[in-house]
Amino acid sequence: MGHGWEGVVLKLMRGKDFTFTVTGTEEVTEHFRRVHFSDGGMLARTGVHPTMWVRVWFDNGERPHQRAYTLVDPDPEAGTFALEFALHDGRASDWARTAGAGDSVQATLQGTGFTAPAPLPSRLFVVGDPASLPAINSLLAALPGVPATIWFETTHDDAGRLPLRLAADRHELRRVPRADRGRRLVAEVRAALPGLLDDPSEAYLWIACDTATTRSLASWARKELGLPKERVNALGYWRAA
């Protein structure tokens, strides 16, 4: 399967290509599926860091189709990891629904990296949804002693069964049902965050949800709350149709 112009660009940017093979699957909920892989030698070659992600290529006829996914429980010695799929309409979700042991996909590792905020924040604020759940878990694990408040946008009633890895003594979860194309999430964060923010220079805000929501909250946090640019990490994970 060719990767089209996107693959050419990634190759020019020194992207590394690998083949992943499915070793098993788990249906976490009706709308969330975990797929386990052997890594094709990737982790031994590249190492592992928090929030590490790869671009996975899915067959879509003559048009290449790639999506980025965060590695779950990567094990360099065993050469294994998992990917978690929030299931919706789309080629990647269609593939995940029917994936079975022995199936394979191609992937490109390029552009991933993680730098812990320095100095470490006195408090972490996270805004995300099921699409960014693996990255949220990896971020919380990378900052184990930092208290965190997490706004987690949900779409389905079974969201309470999603595998958020929270520490009861320092992580506060605020579930927000998705409404009005993400505007409810924006409103709840804007209403609550100022009262939780003691010193903008000592906080760290990490946002990863739909593109419009992510941009809105990141701009507001910098311009109106006064969070320094280096204390806001914002990445739109998907576009609302």
Q: pLDDT, tens digit, for every residue of 130-163?
A: 999 999 999 999 999 999 999 999 999 999 999 9
Measured CA to CA, the distance from residue 35 to residue 72 in angstroms comes to 10
Strand partners, 22: 37
As a whole-number percent, the residues of the chain with pLDDT over 90 amount to 83
Residue where one domain finishes, among candidates 62, 84, 109: 109
- Residue 103 and residue 129 share a domain: no
Measured CA to CA, the distance from residue 66 to residue 92 in angstroms comes to 8
pLDDT tens-digit readout, 193-220: 999 999 999 999 999 999 999 999 999 9
Res 173 pLDDT > 50? yes
> In what order do the strands lie in the sheet containing 123-128?
171-177, 148-154, 123-128, 203-208, 232-234
Measured CA to CA, the distance from residue 195 to residue 231 in angstroms comes to 18
As a whole-number percent, the residues of the chain with pLDDT over 70 amount to 93
Given a contact cutoff of 8 angstroms between Cβ atoms, the answer to whether 101 and 24 are in contact is yes
Measured CA to CA, the distance from residue 66 to residue 44 in angstroms comes to 23
Q: What is the mean pLDDT of the chain?
A: 92
pTM for this prediction: 0.91
Res 3 pLDDT > 80? no
Residue 41 C-beta-side C-alpha neighbours within 13 Å: 5
Strand partners, 88: none
Question: Which CATH number does the domain housing residue 143 bear?
Answer: 3.40.50.80
- Residue 128 and residue 198 share a domain: yes
How high is the pLDDT of residue 62?
74
Count of structural domains, the chain: 2
Residues 6+ positions from 8 with CB-CB distance below 8 Å: none
Residue 140 domain flag = yes
Residue where one domain finishes, among candidates 43, 76, 109: 109
pLDDT tens-digit readout, 67-79: 999 999 999 999 9
Give the Å distances, CA to CA, from 18 to 1, 45, 121, 147, 237.
13, 11, 36, 37, 23
Given a contact cutoff of 8 angstroms between Cβ atoms, the answer to whether 97 and 88 are in contact is no
Confidence of residue 5 (pLDDT cuts 50, 70, 90): very low
- Domain ranges, residue 225: 123-234
- Residue 104 and residue 174 share a domain: no
- Residue 131 and residue 86 share a domain: no
- Strand bridging mode 148-154 / 123-128: parallel
How high is the pLDDT of residue 9?
44
Residue 127 C-beta-side C-alpha neighbours within 13 Å: 32
- Residue 142 and residue 99 share a domain: no
Residue 114 domain flag = no
Confidence of residue 2 (pLDDT cuts 50, 70, 90): low
- Residue 74 and residue 158 share a domain: no
pLDDT tens-digit readout, 89-126: 999 999 999 999 999 999 999 767 788 899 999 999 99
Peptide bond preceding 144 in cis form (omega within 30 of 0): no
Angle at 115 between CA 208 and CA 204, to 5 degrees: 55
Res 12 pLDDT > 50? no
- Residue 185 and residue 98 share a domain: no
Confidence of residue 14 (pLDDT cuts 50, 70, 90): low
Residue 117 domain flag = no
Res 49 pLDDT > 80? yes
Residue 207 domain flag = yes
Element (H, E) at 220: helix 211-223
| C-alpha torsion 199→203→206→212, nearest 10 | 10
